[in-house]
Amino acid sequence: MCGIVGYLGRSPARPILLDMLAKLEYRGYDSCGIAVQGNPLRVFKDIRRVKELTELVPRDVPGTIGIGHTRWATHGGVSPQNAHPHLDCSHEIAVVHNGIIDNYQELRAELMLEGHVFISETDTEVIAHLLEKYYQGILQEAMESTIARLRGSWAMVAVAAKERTLVSSRQGAPLVIGVGSDEYLVASDAPAILGYATSVVYLEDGDIAAINDVELSVSRQGQQVLQEPKDISWSDGATEKNGHEHYTLKEILEQPAVLRRTLVRYLEEKNVGEGPRALFQETTDDLTILACGTSYHAGLIAKHVIEGLLRIPVSVINASEYACRPYPPATLAIAITQSGETADVIAAARRIKEHGARVLAVTNIPYSSITTVADRVMYTDAGPEVGVAATKTYTAQLAALFELVRSSPRLRPQAKEILSAGFVELPDMVARVCAISADIEDCARFIAMHERAFIIGRGVNLPTAYEGALKMKELAYIHAEGYSAGELKHGPFALLDGQTPIIAVIAADETRQAMLSSIHEVKARRSPVVALSYEGDEAVEKLSDFVIRLPKATCPFSAVVNAVALQLLAYHAAKIRHCPIDFPRNIAKSVTVE
Ligand code: F6R
């Protein structure tokens, strides 16, 4: 969704701001803009892409300080007036903002009575006018007075025409400050500062950061806080396509490496005493998992494994539903969110805490908002994911969840051995799936000719079917439905015909025989079958029209192997159908509104 950037240094701000905005395009947006400091401030906005904005901004705009924004409309439609940066009446202060100001209507009314003229429908514009109201020549002081008036969430950066300063503040939305050589960068997401900053400072809720040519100072509730910059662990290349046609493909193919590095880290981390694993181990009676979308599917797989191996009952709840239903309080909630910013998950995690549960977050993003709510955090190690559809972050979540189970003292020794061995084999198995991408493309050619499909599975691979269907919808725009293989005959059979392929996810476990029966039933109703099966399963070969032959993985690792194959199937189908794979229409990478 919305993205924020800021720059203060010795280089011209224009190209750096535009480049940083381009690095945030993956979040999804519908308008964009920049303001470059000078007297007067120069502001440029466009309701198209960053590319068009780049053409609009003259190359010779002077100024070495500036701010920028990609906006995903919430309050007010997509228009140049509503695009950020927003200005005060005298055009002396510009601000960009992520989040929602809950009390903007009353503030707006108050400011209008005082003579402020508003030109947009946004909540953000009140911030520009409040800054103007309190500005006495020091922007930092105006920011302190302004945030004292706001209710809601924000990450914001402001710039003034007559001061060499950038002032930012955070409350409930992420903001990082990159430190380079003689320059500072501000961004809502770390990928924007890669290539410029060598270290990074993560702001916490309530912080105000003031940057000038000499220093960065951070204050919390009026007190200076010492913020030691931390090294950036992600490299700039991590957000490049590295020769691949799409980020999504690159990220799918990165999964063996992600799993390998995750495995090494988990197996090497001997001392789990105070960490997320310790919190998980304390749970013996009930557990709730809160998540959305792909992360919800990871939660369903975790439920299967935790209930099966640890005998702990698990409720998996769509975070957006949590507030709507009278769920019993749990002692522990696992909030799964790769971005760490999904508003529904954060709200649900806050609510379940109010009911007395402790929260363990599984996230890919350090210092993201969920980490400020959670009692403990289990980080996945997927690196930046640019493609809007989650791929490598999903399998990294599964690895993290399996690791929680593997490290539990409730796990029987034999099961622990099997899980540990499966973990070790997993990266190579996934590499073998990636190696047959061309074979999967052949099947995708067939799938791509259809407008609908069912993906069926059982057991631990039923959520895999759901996840495969989600990938097929968002990447290839095919209406795929993930369905329990055993449930098809209870209604959906009515839809089966020669035009509705069935993608059957088969694993070498106790569900295989029942899956074969389901394929027989489907074939009897003339639906073509594409089977994901393990090498050498002749019965499946005989029955199916197409077979994707995968390495034979044990439960629960078959859920990872099959998920990667389904990601590739959806990717290739999307490419054949000329879909905008990395940035599917209407969706955003992190969904920061409830
Ligand atoms: C689908 C996808 C979404 C997200 C969902 C939750 O490919 O990416 O369904 O999984 O929006 O996002 P996070 O995990 O960031 O909370």
Q: Which of 144, 305, 109, 309 is nearest to 221 (CA)?
A: 144
The Cβ-side half-sphere exposure at 156, using a 13 Å CA radius, reads 34
Edge-to-edge, what's the strand order for the sheet holding 184-187?
42-46, 31-36, 65-71, 3-8, 184-187, 176-179, 199-202, 230-231
Could you tell me the distance, in angstroms and rounded to a whole number, from the CA of residue 441 to the centre of ligand 1? Answer: 25
The helix or strand, by DSSP H or E, that contains position 421, with its residue range, turns out to be helix 413-435
User: What's the pLDDT score for residue 367?
Assistant: 77
Active site residue 589: yes
Q: Which atom of ligand 1 is nearest to the CA of 342?
A: 16
Kindly give, in sequence order, each residue whose CB lies less than 8 Å from that of residue 111, ignoring residues fewer than 6 positions away: 118, 126, 129, 130, 133
Best residue for ligand 1 mutational test, from 292, 365, 401 (most atoms within 8 Å of Cβ): 292
The answer to whether the CB of 156 falls within 8 A of the CB of 4 is yes
Distance 512 CA to ligand 1 centre (A): 30
Residue type at 365? Answer: I
Q: How far is the CA of 91 from the centre of ligand 1 (A)?
A: 38
Ligand 1 atom with the smallest distance to the CA of 340 is: 15
Q: What is the mean pLDDT of each run of 10 residues along the chain (594 residues)?
A: 92 97 86 95 95 95 96 87 96 95 96 97 96 97 96 95 96 90 91 88 90 90 83 71 92 97 82 79 88 98 97 94 78 95 92 93 88 92 92 97 94 94 96 97 97 97 98 98 96 92 96 96 94 93 95 96 98 97 83 68
Using only the alpha carbons of the chain, give its radius of gyration.
25
Residue 400 Cα to ligand 1 middle (Å): 16
**Which residues neighbour 270 within 8 Å (Cβ) at sequence distance 6 or greater?**
none
Q: Which of 305, 343, 322 is nearest to 591 (CA)?
A: 343
Atom of ligand 1 nearest to the CA of 471: 7
Residue owning the nearest CA to atom 3 of ligand 1: 293
Closest-CA residue, ligand 1 atom 15, reads 339
CA distance 157 to 179: 16
Q: Which residue's alpha carbon is nearest to atom 12 within ligand 1? A: 337
CA distance 518 to 513: 9
For atom 10 of ligand 1, the residue with the nearest CA is: 294
Q: Rounded to whole angstroms, how far apart are CA atoms 68 and 58?
A: 15
Q: Which of 133, 250, 303, 589 is catalytic?
A: 589
Q: Out of 2, 32, 292, 579, pick the active-site residue.
A: 2
The pLDDT value recorded for residue 405 is 95
Residue 432 is inside which H or E element, if any? Answer: helix 413-435
Predicted confidence at residue 172, as pLDDT, reads: 83
pLDDT score for 270:
66
**Site to substitute for ligand 1 among 247, 252, 338, 586, most atoms within 8 A of C-beta:** 338
Note the pLDDT of residue 587: 78
User: What residue owns the CA closest to ligand 1's atom 16?
Assistant: 337
Write down the pLDDT at residue 479.
97
Pocket test for ligand 1, best of 294, 346, 398, 464 (most atoms within 8 A of CB): 294
Q: Which of 8, 165, 168 is nearest to 99 (CA)?
A: 168
- Tokens 């409720």 found at: 315
The distance from CA 485 to its chain's CA centroid, rounded to whole angstroms, is: 30
Contact assessment for residue 481 and residue 466, using Cβ atoms and an 8 Å cutoff: no
Ligand 1 pocket: which of 342, 401, 583, 592 to mutate (most atoms within 8 A of CB): 342
Bond prior to 556 in cis (omega within 30° of 0): yes
Q: Whose CA is nearest to atom 1 of ligand 1?
A: 389
The per-residue pLDDT for 80 is: 93
Q: In the 3-class helix/strand/coil scheme, how is 361-407 assigned residue by residue?
A: EEECCCCCHHHHHCCEEEECCCCCCCCCCCCHHHHHHHHHHHHHHHC
Active site residue 89: no
How many whole angstroms from 382 Cα to the centroid of ligand 1?
14
The CA distance from 130 to 111, in Å, is 8
State how far the Cα of 420 lies from the Cα of 410, in Å rounded to an integer. 15
Residue that has been written with the tokens 């999504």 in this structure: 248
Residue with tokens 């399963």: 537
Q: What is the C-alpha to C-alpha distance for residues 173 and 356, in angstroms, rounded to an integer?
A: 24
What is the value of pTM for the model shown?
A: 0.85
Please report the atom of ligand 1 found closest to the CA of residue 591. 11
413 upstream amide cis, omega within 30 of 0: no
- Ligand 1 surroundings by CB, under 6 angstroms: 292-295, 337-339, 342, 345, 389-390, 470, 474, 590-591
Q: What is the pLDDT at residue 240?
A: 77
Return the residue whose CA atom lies nearest to atom 9 of ligand 1: 293
How many whole angstroms from 390 Cα to the centroid of ligand 1? 6
The CA 100 to ligand 1 mean position distance, Å, reads 20
Q: Whose CA is nearest to atom 13 of ligand 1?
A: 337
Ligand 1, atom 7: nearest CA belongs to which residue? 389
Can you point out the beta strands (E) in 388-497? Answer: 452-457, 479-484
**CA 334 / ligand 1 centre spacing (Å):** 15
Give the distance (Å) from ligand 1 centre to CA of residue 339.
8
Output the CA 473–ligand 1 centroid distance in Å. Answer: 13
The answer to whether residues 377 and 363 touch, using CB atoms and an 8 Å cutoff, is yes
User: Which atom of ligand 1 is nearest the CA belonging to 389?
Assistant: 7
